[in-house]
Homo-oligomer: A and B are copies of this chain.
């Protein structure tokens, strides 16, 4: 491809992704069709299908093209404060358009389309998990986390309740909620004075 053709290709790709987000925000993902996206982007349907084989994968690319800078964890030496900062930022993104409704719609689509689910994990969830894990490893080395705590679970336990609110009860995830989750997860449910019963 010559430079000018490559650049026209890129700008068309961007126009299609932007059109997909606009249409999803306006009429909802359930009514988003390749045809509506093509019309909005001013291209033919085949131009869309040449780039994406399903509306789910187009929508995934479009949502992940949105800016999510600043979602990596700082390291101030206080793991609870650092987790709180990142969780608060993530939740703020998700509380409002465009991210909020688009990300929920994307996870909705992932329930019906295994390709979308796999790509969402590979491109978004796994890097986030790795970043949290690195921060938690440092905290463990600094004695802020119990030496026998299974860090592979930590991301599920910290983000599970937030996803649960986002996707199931759909109650707002407030700063107070994040704070309560952190407090609860760090303190644990067991009374502090007695050992935790374990199944051997």
Q: Closest approach, in angstroms, between the C-beta of A2 and any C-beta of chain B?
A: 39
Q: How far is the CB of A150 from chain B (nearest CB, A)?
A: 6
- Complex: A29 Cα to B109 Cα, angstroms: 11
Partner among B109, B154, B180 whose Cβ is within 8 Å of the Cβ of A150: B180
The interface-forming segment of A13-21, A42-50, A61-69, A191-199 is A191-199
The answer to whether B145 touches A156, judged by C-beta atoms less than 8 angstroms apart, is: no
Does residue A160 face the partner (Cβ distance < 8 Å to B)?
yes
Do A190 and B189 contact each other (CB < 8 Å), given the known contacts A108-B112, A150-B180, A199-B179?
Answer: no
B29 & A112 in contact (Cβ 8 Å cutoff): yes
Q: Are B160 and A191 in contact (CB under 8 A)?
A: no
Q: Which listed residue, B29, B154, B189, touches A189 by the CB 8 Å rule?
A: B154
Check if A121 is an interface residue, CB within 8 A of chain B.
Answer: yes
Instruction: Tell me whether B113 and A30 are in contact (CB under 8 A).
Output: yes
Contacts A156-B181, A185-B157 given; does A168 touch B108 at CB 8 Å: no
Q: Chain B's nearest CB lies how many Å from the CB of A71?
A: 16
Main secondary structure of the interface of A (DSSP, over half): helix
Residues on B with beta carbons closer than 8 Å to the beta carbon of A149: 184, 187, 189
A157-B157 in contact (CB<8A): yes
**Contact in complex: B145, A190 (CB < 8 Å):** yes
- Given the complex of chains A and B, what is the CA–CA distance between A170 and B169 in angstroms? 20
- B112, B120, B181, B185: which contacts A105 (Cβ < 8 A)? B112
- Chain A residues proximal to chain B, CB less than 8 Å: 28-30, 78, 80, 104-105, 107-113, 117, 120-121, 125, 143-147, 149-150, 153-154, 156-157, 159-165, 167-170, 179-181, 183-192, 196-199
16 contacting pairs across A/B (C-beta < 8 A): A28-B112, A30-B112, A108-B110, A110-B168, A121-B168, A121-B169, A143-B191, A146-B187, A154-B189, A157-B184, A157-B185, A160-B160, A167-B167, A186-B189, A186-B196, A187-B188
